[in-house]
Structure 1
């Protein structure tokens, strides 16, 4: 990154990074984001969450910036509260991945994030307290048939930690989708081929003439690794996943200690 001037864009994950463990944005973090924006930086939140799950966060930050949601599949403008871009998984690719994974990993459960709601097959364990649009149907075939669009495919196993399940999912589905996880127990998320937080962020920046070395990024989980590897300056949170800490030399404090805000205060002093 050019050390002579502040970054032109701040890209930050939400859960475990910008947000405190209770899901709130601290007053110090709000002030740091506002100062960065006043200093000329664009603010982009890069998250696994769908737009509906960031409404209360948007309010806390004054509807500032843009959100790259669902691991890059949906771009959402906070100020106007509208979706401005989508990159869905093709139905045939989702069907092939579900069939392959079900055959190789008996007992796994499936769900789809459509961008509007979650549709889950019976046997899919996770529920999200912040999301009331969670529909349960009998089979994965019903899930795919009812999906308005497939922003990402969820694969869940009660018998696997997220890290080994991720490796199994990549081995089974890599040619049809991009597999990652954001820390959910036994939960893997699959986007369309070529779709990730970083690829959508890169396209967003290219459209605005912003180079990677003009971007500072923050993250804590494996689904943040691509963004942290792409940005000119990348910070792993002190509370980050071991893989993120290993790959990212710079450190920010923990999410509960306003780690992002402390870095931004230095950059935009």
Structure 2
């Protein structure tokens, strides 16, 4: 199995998948290797990528909270964050970080209160504002992540501030967004969900190659038999992961795959359709 993060790893900075990387992924798949996307992104983002590239197979979304079948657009399994837990953690965090704003990610929408002023172009059409912070906790949709955003603190500082009040109730991480902290149900990690997937498929961790660039990728990079940090990775990732590859702009993922599957990688016209890469 090849398990790869998207932003800053598999995708270029403009959000596209290069022809070289797409060719390398197809070659690995044709050689019998399953490709699994492992991302903080929600399914709706993966859907758009699939439409542009022909991506199919399985995606681990929302940092491990969701397992998603790309071809059928179906959530196969989920680990939901109770709204009551999100409320408690948000209250504790707001007490130590004045002005922090909150949103709830449901996989289909981002529900946000007035202090959450972070806007992402890729979420256009999926954002749902509520009048007050109190209204946020009335959300009835299953929640995959609580998002906390500060315009004053970077993500590392925000995570350090959140830890004392969060306790063991939640899983804290971030994927490099400025001042954006991602909060999931306890035990939800990319590695944990990958381990379940691999166990069902009879794949050992030693047979997994993982790629990533941010702190939310660390569990997967440490768990996999081979974990590669991108050259553009967060300093904590570069320090923790001994094996590095080129940047996402340099097709660092493709470079590794081409060396591992040298006999299969041949320049050729991309295959059309959603059934394969």
TM bracket, shorter-chain basis: over 0.9
In the TM superposition, what are the counterparts of 1:15-30 in structure 2 within 5 Å?
15-30=7-22
Bigger shift: residues 107-116 or 167-176: 167-176
Match of 1:76 in 2: 68
Corresponding residue for residue 165 of structure 1? 158
Aligned mates of 1:186, 1:147 — CA distance in 2? 26
Task: Choose from 86, 92, 103 the match for 1:100.
Answer: 92
Distance 2:132 2:185 in 1: 22
Paired with 2:70 and 2:4, the residues of 1 have a C-alpha distance of 15
Q: Could you tell me which residue of structure 2 aligns to residue 138 of structure 1?
A: 131
Calculate the aligned-residue CA RMSD, in Å: 1.1
Q: Output the CA distance in 2 between the equivalents of 1:199 and 1:138.
A: 36
Q: What is the CA–CA distance in structure 1 between the aligned matches of 2:82 and 2:122, rounded to whole Å?
A: 27
In structure 1, the residue matched to 2:113 is 121
Question: 1:111 & 1:147 partners in 2: Cα distance?
Answer: 14
Task: State the aligned residue count.
Answer: 261
Answering whether residue 81 of structure 2 is matched by residue 89 of structure 1, we say yes
- List structure 1 runs of 4+ shifted beyond 4 angstroms: none
Partner of 1:257: 250
Q: Could you list the runs of 5+ residues in structure 1 that have no partner in the other structure?
A: 1-8
CA deviation vs aligned residue, 1:194-228 (integer Å, no higher than 9, x gap): 11111111111111111110000000001000100
In the aligned structure 1, how far is the partner of 2:261 from the partner of 2:167? 40
Q: Which residue of 2 aligns with 1:182?
A: 175
Structure 2 gaps of 5+ residues are 263-277
User: How many Å apart are 1:64 and its aligned residue?
Assistant: 2.5
TM-score scaled to structure 1, two decimals?
0.94
| Aligned mates of 1:174, 1:240 — CA distance in 2 | 27
